[in-house]
Structure 1
Amino acid sequence: MPKGYVIGRAKVSDATKWGAYAAKASEVMKIYGGTPIVRGGQMTVGEGEGRARNIIIEFNDFASARAYLFSPEYAEARKLREGAGEIDLVAVEGA
């Protein structure tokens, strides 16, 4: 069965609020069996629009990745992020 991934690209404008969100989101990630593969770090834009903060979280399957994104627990974390920046998040199925 293919793995599932949550991939995000973010621009942070309030590091304090973002930190509270990230801590809560990390707790929720563990509940749904997620393992961070990429969390920030150096990046270079090769094509298109890039954002300074990038994340990849691996899950056992696509259903788990999707369940994490749409969970009530993650919704609580998302509230902590309001006004702290911008983010694009997608759940994808691996090869």
Structure 2
Amino acid sequence: MMSAYWIAHVTVTDPEAYAGYQALAPAAFAKYGAEFLARGGASETFEGAPYQRHVIIRFADLATARACYQSPEYQQAWQHRLGACDAHVLIVEGV
């Protein structure tokens, strides 16, 4: 089984609304065994659009990462993120 990584680049535009996402999303990540490798912290953008936050989360495999994103728990959290941030989110299989 090959690990998969959820990579998100986020700039929060409405902190109050985004707080709802932050309150609910951890339940989905815990349910699917997510391991945070990077979350926020100092960063530098060398190419492309700059974002405020960068997150890298490891999952057991691609199917588990996808299941987390599509889960009712995460989708409920995601509703709070709509309009509260500019985000680029992807899932990639490890090597």
TM-score by length of 1: 0.91
TM-score between both structures, scaled by the size of structure 2: 0.91
Consecutive unaligned residues of structure 1, counting only runs of 5 or more, are none
Residues 1:44 and 2:28 are matched in the alignment = no
| One-letter amino acid matched to 2:63 | A
Aligned-partner Cα distance in 2 for 1:19–1:56: 19
Match of 1:84 in 2: 84
Deviations 1:10-61 (A, max 9, x none): 1101112212202211111000111111111111011222211111111111
CA RMSD, aligned part only?
Answer: 1.1
Q: Which runs of 4+ in 1 moved over 6 A?
A: none
Give ranges in structure 2 of 5+ residues lacking alignment: none
Does the CA contact (< 8 Å) of 1:69 and 1:91 recur in 2? no
Q: Secondary structure at the match of 1:87?
A: strand
CA distance in 1, matches of 2:26, 2:88: 17
| Partner AA of 1:45 in structure 2 | T
Identity %: 37
Pairwise CA distance, 1:81: 1.5
